Amino acid sequence: MNTHRNRAVASALSITALLAGLVAATPAAAAGSSASITPVLGGLAAPRGIAFDGKGSMYVAESGVAGAGPAGLTHTGKVDKFAWGRTTPTWSTGFNSLYVSEDPTAPPDVLGPAGLSAIGNGCMKNSHGVRNGCQVLMITGESTPGVLAATGNAVNDPQAGHLYRLDGATGAAMSKSDVGSQMYQWTGEHQSLFPDDFPDSNPYGVLVTKDARTEGIRTFVADAGANTISEIMPDGTARVVSYIPNEDFGAFRDSTPTCIAQGPDGYLYVGALDFVSNLFVPPGTGGLSNVWRVDPNADYPTAPTVWASGLTTITACTFDRQGNFWATEMFAGGVDATPPGDVVRIPFAHPGTQDHFGFGQLPVPGGIAQGPDGAMYVTVGSAAPGVNGGVMRVHVGP
């Protein structure tokens, strides 16, 4: 879109036009002596979020494909549910896909269904219907007022920036909150934080979790345009928990929080993209993305703290059942790598330690989740045009 931060994200998507077809060409081979990578699904349209419910069913968010003209909407975004071990979806629920041509020499950028999060059957008692995993949440990118402003009122996307709850049994979608419009307004009211870019909103990551003290369900959203971490209250109101610092680096400010994971200590751990800083400000060799630690019970302007550093272009994150932090690094290796992309594991007790698995075999990864078998499942080709995306299984041995 027409703001600096969204332009940075869109640049990442445009560059991946060069990567079309690499997902299908990626061999199923060992990533190293202690890890193996195998394909699970292919033929997906810019898959981003991925999640598993308590029955082992896998959910994948596809952002979709572009249509004709420089900007507009298609209805090619979707969320798919796959029963454990199946490659044919149980259901697919369609959503809008927003496409905008930032560079006329490259395919349009597509934004639609993005982050996914699920809680399994432990919350069935709170469900008013039969659901296989009664909390399955998805966030869509951008915001309705932001899209209107950026396109001169030419494109109206009423689904942009909404938090949706999906019925696990049927896929029926219900909007729970218009997060994007609320954060667009919030950044307009706090324009002094980023005068060149605000107002802006691009909700991208979502986390649904159970409060260890109250047993209540809580939902948090990371906004890559507003730089906010918000808790979505039962009435749909977005309570701003924290503002992720948007550092000055060269000519850009592009911290861009993309994901939220809950650590063993109950705090939120937020990964940032830092696309321009990592790849286009000299030396451009990466290692400039941080993981921020956020108190879920805080309120803005309580500042977050850096928990881990030295990562590159984080697009998704999670904790495994052993308490390790995992993140996808969309452009690890740089834009000239064939292909770029990696996953990193960080022990919770040793945030300065990084183990990498999958460089060269995970093209532009977009989402990560641990499956019921203990392996990590990663969406790849998450920014490639067309239907060149897929899901890969990353198994790390003892």
Q: What CATH number does residue 140 fall under?
A: 2.120.10.30
The predicted structure's pLDDT at residue 35 = 86
Domain count for the chain: 1
The predicted structure's pLDDT at residue 213 = 84
pLDDT in tens, 15-32: 444 444 444 434 433 344
Element (DSSP H or E) covering residue 30: strand 30-32
pLDDT in tens, 91-103: 999 999 999 887 7
The predicted structure's pLDDT at residue 344 = 97
Contact 295, 267 (CB under 8 A): yes
How many C-beta atoms surround the C-beta of residue 68 within 10 A?
Answer: 8
pLDDT in tens, 259-278: 999 999 999 999 999 998 89
The predicted structure's pLDDT at residue 31 = 43
Residue 128's domain comprises: 4-396
Average pLDDT along the chain, 398 residues, taken 10 residues at a time: 40 44 41 77 97 93 94 97 95 96 82 92 44 76 97 96 93 96 98 92 96 88 97 98 81 84 97 91 89 98 97 97 97 92 97 95 97 97 93 92
Helix ranges (H only) for the chain are: 4-15, 22-25, 144-150, 179-189, 275-279
Closest C-alpha among 194, 306, 332 to residue 254: 194
Tokens of 131: 């659901």
- Residue bearing tokens 């499956």: 371
